[in-house]
Amino acid sequence: MSALEPMDIHDQVQAFADGELSPEEADTFRVHLGTCTQCQSDLEDILQLQALGGRLAEVEAKEAEVARPSQPGGMPSRDAAPSRAFRPAWSRRRNLVAAVALTGSLAAVLVLVVFRGPGLPGVESGQNVLALAPTRSLEARLSWDGASAHRPYGVLRSGDERPRELVPLRELAKLEEAGDLHGLATGHLLRGEGEQAAEYLQRAPASPDVDSDRAVVALTKGELEEALILLDGVLEKHPQHPEALWNRALVLRELGLDAVAADAFDAVAALREPGWAEEAKERAAALRRRLDGQRGTWDDAQKAGKALALEGTLIPEPLARSVPGSARNALNTALWAAPSAEAVKALLPLARLLDAHYGGDALERRVSHVASLDFKRRGPLAERFRQVLLGTFDASGLDAYARELAASEHSDILLGVLPLTGQLPARLPEYTKAAKAVGDPWLMLNAEREAARAEYARGDLAGAEARLLRALPECHAAKAAYRCGQMEYVLAHIYTEEHRLVEAREHAVAGLQVARQGQEWMQQSDLLMVLGNVARYRNAFALARAYLGEQAARDGRCAARRQVQEGLAAMQVFALHPKEAREELEHAPACDVPFFINGAFVQADLARLDPRPGDVEALRDGLRKLEASGLLRPGERVLATHVEGRAVIEREREAGRALLRQAIAEGNRLGSEDPVAWKARAYSYSSLILDAGRARDWAGALSLFAEESGAGTPERCELGVEVHDERTLVVARGPGGDLLGHYDASRRSPDFDVKKLVPEAMVGALKPCEHVRVFARYAVHGQAGLLPPELAWSYHTGAKRMAPAVTAPRPLVVHDVEAPASLNLPRLRGWELSGAASARRVELTGAAATPSRLLAELVDATEVEIHAHGLVNLGVSDASLLVMAPETDGRYALTAGEVRRQKLKGAPVVVLGACRAARTAPYLHAPWSLPIAFAEAGARAVLASPIDIPDAEAGPFFERVMERIRAGAPAAIALRDERMRALAARPDSWVKTVVVFE
């Protein structure tokens, strides 16, 4: 081909690979390369062939050096043939196919080659460049310099391609040679190889850039919470880190939090980076357009519903289809307000449209039925309902109006009157009777929801839960999505208060999905609040801030905005940032009450952490107003008593102690069935214990530890530990009954080193003890390393249980479990059973070791060994869980909640030979873990570790411990003796982490 003949652009791939194109030609080809999949494939083949040729040339050169004579001094002969890297002399694609066939399997290995070509805009000359295409396939931003320049985002719409780019393999070779792990991770990310990228990033030196890219990997895997935690960590120290700001915006958008995602893109735009700023502005604007459209649609639906009821103006069909739940509510309201049969008949088009959406003809039949009624009688009743809607109804006539409706065939109007006039739950029986008379599932489901809300208000959370769980299947069968979303919200709220956070999140997410599909704006806001509180109680503060921030941006209601700010302030208190907590409260609006119960907690803590004149007086005044508002349920009234005592005890000790004792008494009266009252009880014990520590009343503090857990009076070899906010208390009785104590109020972070909590002098005083019983409160309970390994000690979990008198032991051993293949867990080694022979021993292995089978066999077991995988999966369980063989429905997890509900009649010693089995849920009011669940179910001792444990060593170690226990040694002593034997051989062994719960 002559120099004057234009070369087909597809045939330039070889020259591009060899760096023989001019800068202008290379730029043109690079643009073409970004969209030509064939050239991308050809280029990768050529580069691999070049690598193969280079490897062959090296081999040939070494062979030539051996074969040819050398000059003195070992130098090669001058007449030796010069070596040359193999270069194919073709560029046509048809020849490439034959060439690739020659490479065989070696080409799969030779993936690292050197490539040098013209640079990208914004990249310095000579710098490694990994991103060749003119567009990027990852939405996320990468921090490594060679791939950080802006390129427009562009992907295929086929949906069957993972985000990937052609990465110059030669550049990866240079990075490998230089040990640039971050650059290698970037290359693999661009190639769509997330797992390899994650491995390199894990090994790379820690930095904000690396953490931002780790978040990208998490984002690509759908691990949104992990990504958000990483990004918030970067931005906490580097608030203007551009890649972290961008990637955080993407995570927030993936969570469905469009308002805060748009704000995050605004923060990127404010940095004014070329390309990125413009794209950030466009993305923020698109998110806000979507939000405004959703909010506008919902607002229009509410206005149209009001116009339908008061003026008879039909809701436009597109709007009714967009927000069908609100449209159905509006149809009901219009039926109750319609002044004539003609006005009712005018509703038939809307009824038919909604019937088409929900299925059947129930609404058309109902409209026809109402139209057939006597409007000489119904008309005046409907007119009074219109007055209720307009707010002009004389409340003094409400009872007579309700009685008249109930006694007539027009009792359906009560279904509008009672909620609008605040008569629920007081007149719930009338409401329920009217709903049943109509027979519409939509209305009967609402009666069930109102009944559940009434039970919730009385503190009967179990009754409300059971009612809603019965009603939800009926709701889904009726396709009443709007009602189902309402029920999911109440259930999520109940589970949040009970600290059943996995279930709370499950129902809140389900409700939010329904609300989004139906474009129910206020339902979405309510459920976002629940999700924010669930995340806050899990100590997932990055996620909590995101949900609460979104809720605040969407919901202008005073109470909602107040609750958001109180939640944000509570997180600042937990982080021991009292000034920032006050700032959050200063942004909270003044509503009908000065604060809600969460805000009262914050105010009480600020009176101690950052005291200002008038704090306590303002708190007391606000609590009185909150009580008078009628908003508090029984458990919350107990909590209010605790909050006052919590604040007062710092300056009026006796008054504060009396209030806290009152809260404990009321909590005991309501019992654990009222989780809010039970929390108030726990918090009150904490305040009393810390008050005793502040007063150096070591005996009083230790007695309070024992009193709370139902243990006998401490006499010797007892240790109590409380870590709360800025305060730390450690108190002990030595072997002779002597008291020791340590109190400190100087903590400035919620983090602590458990191994340094107990002062050395106290450890020394406890060393002569045969066994130390530890009362640890909830941040410490279950952690390994509280006391040194040479001491025999255990966490106290409740009333002492004795081994039953049995004629024949009934051991239960779980091993060789067939975990679900989807979890991709390694098979644990086979287990050789030992111990005392017993014809009654039960073994669960393989596919038979299901959660239900294990729960059934636990009931009568006198000794339990579970050798299985342990996982921490907050999507399944708040605490760690055991991986069992799957049930027929796919369920494989044995959770702490399921164990606690069982009754272990044999009071067994339980060995949890699983990784992280002792991991405790992050609750502030109660310890919660698998070992505690077994103890509450009836186990007299539980052995477990909070870390990963080696499969090969775990079985033999635990078996030797069990042999000592069978010989009569208490569990803590048996563990200590076997632990010390193991540590003598390996001082760094994992056995130091095994904990006993007794």
pLDDT at 43: 72
Tell me the C-alpha distance between 678 and 661, whole Å: 13
CA-CA-CA-CA torsion sign (497, 499, 503, 509)? positive
pLDDT tens column, 244-272: 999 999 999 999 999 999 999 999 999 99
Who contacts 549 (Cβ-Cβ below 8 Å, separation ≥6)? 257, 259, 260, 263, 564
Range in 151-155, 254-258, 658-662, 899-903 the model is least confident about: 151-155
Tell me the C-alpha distance between 33 and 642, whole Å: 69
Burial letters for 469-490: b for 16+ Cβ neighbours within 10 Å, e otherwise? eebbebbeebebbbbbbbbbbb
pLDDT at 755: 94
Specify the residue for token string 């995570």. 251
> Does the predicted model carry a pTM greater than 0.75?
yes
Who contacts 18 (Cβ-Cβ below 8 Å, separation ≥6)? 87
Is the pLDDT confidence value at 993 over 70? Answer: yes
The burial class, CB within 10 Å (0-12 / 13-18 / 19+), for 994 is buried
pLDDT tens column, 786-818: 999 999 999 998 756 555 655 568 899 988 888
> Residues 415, 328: contact at Cβ < 8 Å?
no
In degrees and rounded to multiples of 5, residue 392 shows phi and psi of -105, 5
pLDDT tens column, 182-193: 999 998 888 888
Who contacts 111 (Cβ-Cβ below 8 Å, separation ≥6)? 48, 51, 169, 172
Range in 82-86, 379-383, 816-820, 845-849 the model is least confident about: 82-86
Range in 129-143, 883-897, 911-925 the model is least confident about: 911-925
DSSP string, 142-158: P-SGGG-S---B---SS
pLDDT at 96: 39
Tell me the two tokens of residue 336: 């109750």
Computed over every residue of the chain, the mean pLDDT equals: 85
pLDDT tens column, 24-54: 777 777 777 766 777 777 776 675 565 455 4
pLDDT at 112: 28
Tell me the C-alpha distance between 284 and 264, whole Å: 8
Range in 62-71, 300-309, 548-557, 810-819 the model is least confident about: 62-71
More confident residue, 578 or 49: 578
245 secondary structure, DSSP code: H
Tell me the C-alpha distance between 497 and 488, whole Å: 14
3-class DSSP string for 550-600: HHHHHCCCHHHHHHHHHHHHHHHHHCCCHHHHHHHHHCCCCCCCCCCHHHH
More confident residue, 467 or 826: 467
Range in 213-217, 357-361, 500-504, 649-653 the model is least confident about: 500-504
- Bridge partners of 909, per DSSP, are 863, 941
Conformation bin of residue 886: beta by default, left when phi > 0, alpha when psi is -120 to 50? beta
CA distances from 521 to 265, 285, 489, 512, 524 (A): 23, 20, 14, 10, 5
pLDDT at 800: 60
Distance between alpha carbon 371 and the CA centroid of its chain, in Å?
Answer: 51
> Residues 711, 799: contact at Cβ < 8 Å?
yes
Q: What DSSP element (H or E) covers 262? A: helix 258-269
pLDDT tens column, 307-318: 999 999 999 999
Confidence grade of residue 839 (pLDDT, cut at 50, 70, 90): low
More confident residue, 154 or 353: 353
> Residues 778, 981: contact at Cβ < 8 Å?
no
Is the pLDDT confidence value at 763 over 70? Answer: yes
One-letter identity of residue 286: A
Whether the upstream peptide bond of residue 613 has omega within 30° of 0, thus cis, is no
Range in 98-102, 218-222, 727-731 the model is least confident about: 98-102
